[in-house]
Amino acid sequence: MKKFLLFLFVLIVLDFSGNVVFAAYHVKINELYASMKKYDGKQIRIEGEVIGDIVYHRDGAWINVNDDVYSKRSIAEGNKPKGQNSGIGIWVSKEDAKKVKFKGDYFHKGDIVYVEGIFSSNCPKHNGDIDIHAKKFMVVKQGYEIDHDINLKLAMISMGFFIFAASGYSIRRFRITRPGYRRVKA
């Protein structure tokens, strides 16, 4: 029985490559912000959508990851507006950053990534930023382009307002610049 427990312990603590595996907390980004002292310096796991731009630096890259309700299903895909956006900067290697094909924005659903790393509420390496230094980074699900339908009725109403405003401005400019026009002082 003791040998079995020892064997089980070794399997839990060591992975197959011989590296020591630390227990990592699987948390939401909102929870990280709410309990920064609890997770500061701890190994954590998050999963979310890559958003915005990737910023390359000398020895790595910054990636922003969102794990709110919109990272699973965007409003364009039928999700109802609710809650708030919650994202965090992830410091990754340049090689890991190059794995990302789609970054979330109006026209794209970003790649869903799994990040395991050390959370820092006041990172000394990055001038006190709140960040995660990734030890493990994987693209779980590749993103894609989002096709937005054009609301023809709304486009026509907007065009009508534009024409109305432009014609009003043009008439006023014509009256002011016409010869013989005098402005009456009040």
Structure confidence by residue, pLDDT tens digits, 71-93 = 666 666 677 767 677 889 999 99
Give the pTM: 0.67
Helices (H), the chain: 2-13, 29-34, 36-39, 69-72, 94-97, 152-177
Protein fold of 19-145:
OB fold (Dihydrolipoamide Acetyltransferase, E2P) (2.40.50)
Q: Long-range contact list for 79-82, CB < 8 A, 24+ apart? A: none
β-partners of residue 113 are: 48, 139
Q: Token pair 């992830």 is at which residue? A: 90
pLDDT in the model for residue 80: 73
Q: For residue range 140-163, list pLDDT tens digits in order.
A: 999 999 887 788 888 899 999 899
Q: Token pair 């970003």 is at which residue? A: 110
